[in-house]
Amino acid sequence: MRIFIPMTGKELMRKKVFLIAVVMTVLFLGLFAYAISQIAAEQEITNLITRYAYGTMALSVGLFFAHMIVAFIVFFSTMGAISSEIESGLMYAIVPRPLGRWKIYLGKWIGFSVWSLMYSAVIFISIVWIVHWQLQFPINLGSIGRAFLLFEFIPLILVAVSLLGSIFLPTLGNGVASALLFGLSIFGGMLERIVFISSQMREAVVSGIERFGLITSLLMPTDSIYRRMTYELSGGLDLPLGREAINIMGPFANPVVPSIAFVWYSLVYLIILLGLGCRYFSRKDI
């Protein structure tokens, strides 16, 4: 299965996905660094709580858009990983080899995951370093390590979702379906935060929104992983955010933190997706 790592790398280079990702990432990080420098220059961040709020806001915003960039790079890289190879006839040259279909499927997942993990690591470290450098945001290595592992977990789930969809859907349809599912997860998480901050909603509305957020999290747990990641990155403090911090962070405030049990659910979710993918790809008539 190790042969799929260089194979997927060559495919990303052939489709120019890697080149486009590098160019857009450099542009994004440059604009992000400029924005943070302007905040640091215009705001008198002398109070520790204010520095914490601005630093957490900057990390939340930066990593929010970073995990969206990672998601779309994963989707555009993998949405035709199986369907397009079947349509082009390339899969006919791979399947007859003395290699089980489930090994081919897992090999593709591993190959795309390795490249996605490397890209995610670069963009995560860059954002954390920019915020720490510009705002003197206090971060310890334990918090960074836990947050980094959670951020790296996101592309693993996204690759698994897109590969499974590629078995059943054509290339474009799989890309649209995966992106909509990812967006629905973000929307559900955003509603949960709005409900927590607002105190003027009726109980029935709040209950309905909470159920909606739970369902979207179960269908696609990436937004919950992101929220748990920002919690760990800020030190994992079980302290309620003050009104000042919430006002500064706005919609990127993280008053609702998913439990560690949900992280374990996400791991089981990933294993089930890989199992289903191996099963259905082995039975697929190509």
DSSP label at residue 2 = T
Task: Check: CB of residue 185 under 8 Å from CB of residue 203.
Answer: no
For residue 213, give both structure tokens.
Answer: 């957020």
Global pTM value: 0.87
- Phi-psi region at 284: left, alpha or beta (left = phi > 0; alpha = psi -120 to 50): beta
**In 3D, which of 156, 150, 155, 178 has the Cα closest to residue 166?**
178
Residue 235: per-residue pLDDT: 64
**In 3D, which of 56, 59, 227 has the Cα closest to residue 154?**
227
Taking the C-alpha atoms of residue 207 and residue 185, their distance in angstroms, rounded to an integer, is 17
Which residue's entry shows tokens 């006919």?
92
Which three-class secondary structure state does DSSP give residue 70? helix
The string of pLDDT tens digits covering residues 226-276 is 988 888 876 655 444 444 455 555 555 666 778 889 999 999 999 999 999
The string of pLDDT tens digits covering residues 110-152 is 989 998 999 999 999 999 999 888 887 777 788 889 999 999 9
Task: Check: CB of residue 112 under 8 Å from CB of residue 74.
Answer: yes
Taking the C-alpha atoms of residue 149 and residue 130, their distance in angstroms, rounded to an integer, is 19
Give the H/E segment covering residue 254: none
The string of pLDDT tens digits covering residues 202-231 is 565 567 777 887 888 899 999 999 988 888
**Helix residue ranges per DSSP H, 95-202:** 101-135, 141-168, 171-197
From the centroid of its chain, how far is CA 77?
15
Q: How many CB atoms lie within 10 A of CB 114?
A: 18
Taking the C-alpha atoms of residue 255 and residue 280, their distance in angstroms, rounded to an integer, is 40
